Amino acid sequence: MMISSVSELLVSDKFLQEVQVKGWVRTFRSNRFIALNDGSTIKNIQCVVDFENTDENTLKRIATGAAVNIKGTLIESQGRGQTVEIQVSELEILGDSNPDEYPIQPKKHSMEFLRENAHLRVRTNTFSAVMRVRSALSFAVHKYFQENGFNYVNTPIVTGSDAEGAGEMFRVTTFEPNDAPTTEDGGVDYSQDFFGKETNLTVSGQLEAETFAMALGKVYTFGPTFRAENSNTTRHLAEFWMIEPEVAFCDLDGNMDLSEDFIKSVLAYVLEHCKDDLAFLEQRLTQEEKSKPQAERSEMTLIEKLHFVVDNNFKRVSYTEAIDILRNSKPNKKKKFQFPINEWGADLQSEHERYLVEKHFKCPVILFDYPANIKAFYMRLNDDGKTVRAMDVLFPGIGEIAGGSQREERYDVLLDKIKTMGIDEKELWWYLDLRKFGTAVHSGFGLGFERLVQFATGMGNIRDVIPFPRTPQNAEF
Ligand code: ATP
Ligand code: MN
């Protein structure tokens, strides 16, 4: 007999037909009703066991977490809350789950406890919903770019360029910790290491992606990146997935358009394709927010927030305007910011970004034209000589979701910048070559995939939107 999925059966009208389904028991009540889940949907299918004709021992083994194979008749449900159910004729226990030992019981577990059981937490409603949305979002990412003429490029994970400057890096070496060859001045001699030079895990595929944009026109990366930053926040991971489009013949305005269109498109995709999961996550979030003081609760539900982003324009504001707004803001005047804003040139902290997005504009904001000296060397210098064509996309509840820029395409200006920032130009010979041979205006941005999943699912902590989070002091599983 063909095995059906729970999601198929729940919308099926093949009443009185024999069906077979395999899954895991979520609950078993009154010695009679199994709530069965197979991961195909957040919903369970009710399987009604004829307990009078089922042996005692089998009944005992129908426990939360057990894997079962069920054959039976699909019928219209008499009970409330479901339209169909299965009248079980044959039940086989495929894998037992001892209720005294199984950690995931049908009750509310803390997020912390579930992180410690990350190998099992995907069996809960919350995590299975998040992970299905994550999967749908990754598909939507590829769909968007593929349908818009972008080529997918796989940039290296192990990188030999240490000039990316996006964050602290993890070193890649085959040397034994206490037995590395040394140079004359006592340093480690990496010329004898596997790659013959210092290598690290990549913090961004941007520089390599630029080389491809200058041949294929429109490209994007979507892969893992690594940052050894010791920031224990709800928005930082040591290993995260980044999406980095890079487009030739595109200026900063085009880049802002792309980021906005892209984000709206992938969120619209999950609104359309993940209805059940989003409905569950919305109700979870609303419940969670009830424990917060009224003032901290959001005015919109999860699905309303997603629609709001999809249906409204992002507000585009220059860094200079933003500084004025912040300087004159209530929290700044009342000295409520941890980092007060006094003058032009200050780096914006997450508290400032969140004020702009959540309190002032109340919508996604794209900040652009930042001071040159707080941004990376490759961003295009404006004619004012002090700002660069950088942009950050800021989201409510998240802060920075994407950061990008128009790239400096002028050889001399770029070389100058590299030198004044004290970067070894020899390391960047290939990057500089792009400006020597057929240079052109080009732009791109990097968007943290997990921050996007956080926004789409309403999860407060980034550790809860990736299967096995890597954070300081934590690399279990
Ligand atoms: P932040 O200021 O939030 O640390 P950043 O300025 O270091 O971010 P970029 O170097 O511009 O970020 O990286 C591009 C995008 O990657 C960010 O907009 C963010 O969405 C994401 N990102 C950066 N660092 C992390 C991290 N440690 N964990 C998860 N996502 C990250
Ligand atoms: Mn960072």
The alpha carbon of 167 and the centre of ligand 2 are apart by a number of angstroms equal to 6
Would the CB of 448 count as within 6 Å of ligand 1?
A: yes
Q: Which residues pair with 28 in a beta bridge?
A: 34
Q: Which amino acid belongs to residue 69?
A: N
Would the CB of 466 count as within 6 Å of ligand 1?
A: no
Would the CB of 400 count as within 6 Å of ligand 1?
A: yes
What span, in angstroms and rounded, lies between the C-alpha atoms of 467 and 477?
10
What span, in angstroms and rounded, lies between the C-alpha atoms of 320 and 374?
14
Range of the domain at 330: 123-168+203-464
What span, in angstroms and rounded, lies between the C-alpha atoms of 133 and 276?
10
59 within some domain:
yes
Residue 29 and residue 38 in contact, taking contact as beta carbons nearer than 8 Å: no
Contacts of 27-33 spanning 24+ positions with Cβ under 8 A: 27/64, 27/106, 28/62, 28/63, 28/64, 31/59
∠ at Cα 345 (358, 243), nearest 5°? 55
Burial grade of 232 (CB within 10 A; 0-12, 13-18, 19 or more): exposed
Domains of the chain: total: 2
Residue 408: φ, ψ to 5°: -70, 115
Kindly report the pTM of this predicted structure: 0.96
Residues 256 and 371 both lie in one domain: yes
Residue linked to tokens 């595929």: 205
Q: Which atom of ligand 1 is nearest to the CA of 462?
A: 29
The alpha carbon of 242 and the centre of ligand 1 are apart by a number of angstroms equal to 9
60: enclosing H helix or E strand: helix 56-61
Q: What is the pLDDT of residue 78?
A: 80
What span, in angstroms and rounded, lies between the C-alpha atoms of 243 and 207?
13
475 within some domain:
no
The alpha carbon of 231 and the centre of ligand 1 are apart by a number of angstroms equal to 11
Q: What is the pLDDT of residue 165?
A: 64
| Distance of alpha carbon 75 from the chain centroid | 40
Q: Whose CA is nearest to atom 9 of ligand 1?
A: 403
What span, in angstroms and rounded, lies between the C-alpha atoms of 210 and 388?
18
Q: What tens-digit pLDDT sequence spans the chain (477 residues)?
A: 899 999 999 999 889 999 999 999 999 999 999 999 999 999 999 999 999 989 999 999 999 999 999 999 999 988 777 789 999 999 999 999 999 999 999 889 999 999 999 999 999 999 999 999 999 999 999 999 999 999 999 999 999 876 666 678 999 999 999 999 999 999 999 999 999 999 999 999 999 999 999 999 999 999 999 999 888 899 999 999 999 999 999 999 999 999 999 999 999 999 999 999 999 999 999 999 999 998 888 889 999 999 999 999 999 999 999 999 999 999 999 999 999 999 999 999 999 999 999 999 999 999 999 999 999 999 999 999 999 999 999 999 999 999 999 999 999 999 999 999 999 999 999 999 999 999 999 999 999 999 999 999 999 999 999 999 999 999 999
Residue of 230, 235, 368, 474 with the most ligand 1 atoms within 8 Å of its CB, for mutation: 235
413: enclosing H helix or E strand: helix 411-420
The two three-digit tokens of residue 428, written as one number: 């960047």
Residues 89 and 132 both lie in one domain: no
DSSP type of residue 346: P
Q: Which atom of ligand 1 is nearest to the CA of 242?
A: 16
What span, in angstroms and rounded, lies between the C-alpha atoms of 296 and 267?
24
Q: Which amino acid belongs to residue 356?
A: L
What is the CATH classification number for the domain harbouring 231? 3.30.930.10
What span, in angstroms and rounded, lies between the C-alpha atoms of 233 and 65?
33
What span, in angstroms and rounded, lies between the C-alpha atoms of 359 and 396?
9
DSSP type of residue 205: S
Residue 375 and residue 346 in contact, taking contact as beta carbons nearer than 8 Å: no
Residues 443 and 381 both lie in one domain: yes
What is the CATH classification number for the domain harbouring 60? 2.40.50.140
Q: Which residues pair with 93 in a beta bridge?
A: 68
Residues 256 and 291 both lie in one domain: yes
Q: What is the pLDDT of residue 262?
A: 99
368 within some domain:
yes
- Please give the C-alpha separations between residue 384 and each of 51, 212, 371, 389, in angstroms, as whole numbers: 80, 30, 10, 11
Q: Whose CA is nearest to atom 27 of ligand 1?
A: 236
132 within some domain:
yes
178 within some domain:
no
The alpha carbon of 452 and the centre of ligand 1 are apart by a number of angstroms equal to 11
Pairing of β 3-4 and β 18-29? parallel
Would the CB of 240 count as within 6 Å of ligand 1?
A: yes
Write out the E strands in 407-477.
442-448
Q: What is the DSSP string of 256-305?
A: HHHHHHHHHHHHHHHHHH-HHHHHHHHHHHHHHHTTS-GGGS-SS-HHHH
Q: What is the pLDDT of residue 70?
A: 98
Would the CB of 353 count as within 6 Å of ligand 1?
A: no
What span, in angstroms and rounded, lies between the C-alpha atoms of 327 and 320?
11
Q: What is the largest CA-CA distance in the chain?
A: 85
Residue of 203, 242, 255 with the most ligand 1 atoms within 8 Å of its CB, for mutation: 242
The alpha carbon of 237 and the centre of ligand 2 are apart by a number of angstroms equal to 10
The alpha carbon of 391 and the centre of ligand 1 are apart by a number of angstroms equal to 13
Residues 238 and 348 both lie in one domain: yes
Q: Whose CA is nearest to atom 31 of ligand 1?
A: 448
Residue 380 and residue 388 in contact, taking contact as beta carbons nearer than 8 Å: yes
Residue 191: φ, ψ to 5°: -65, -20
Q: What is the pLDDT of residue 163?
A: 60
Would the CB of 243 count as within 6 Å of ligand 1?
A: no
What span, in angstroms and rounded, lies between the C-alpha atoms of 166 and 291?
37
10 within some domain:
yes
Last residue of a domain, one of 103, 134, 157: 103
The alpha carbon of 21 and the centre of ligand 2 are apart by a number of angstroms equal to 46
210: three-class secondary structure by DSSP: helix
Residues 269 and 306 both lie in one domain: yes
13 within some domain:
yes
Q: Whose CA is nearest to atom 30 of ligand 1?
A: 448
The alpha carbon of 54 and the centre of ligand 1 are apart by a number of angstroms equal to 56
Residue 201 and residue 157 in contact, taking contact as beta carbons nearer than 8 Å: yes
What span, in angstroms and rounded, lies between the C-alpha atoms of 284 and 274?
15
Q: Which residues pair with 220 in a beta bridge?
A: 152, 245
64 within some domain:
yes
Residues 83 and 135 both lie in one domain: no
The two three-digit tokens of residue 62, written as one number: 């129908």
The alpha carbon of 265 and the centre of ligand 1 are apart by a number of angstroms equal to 21
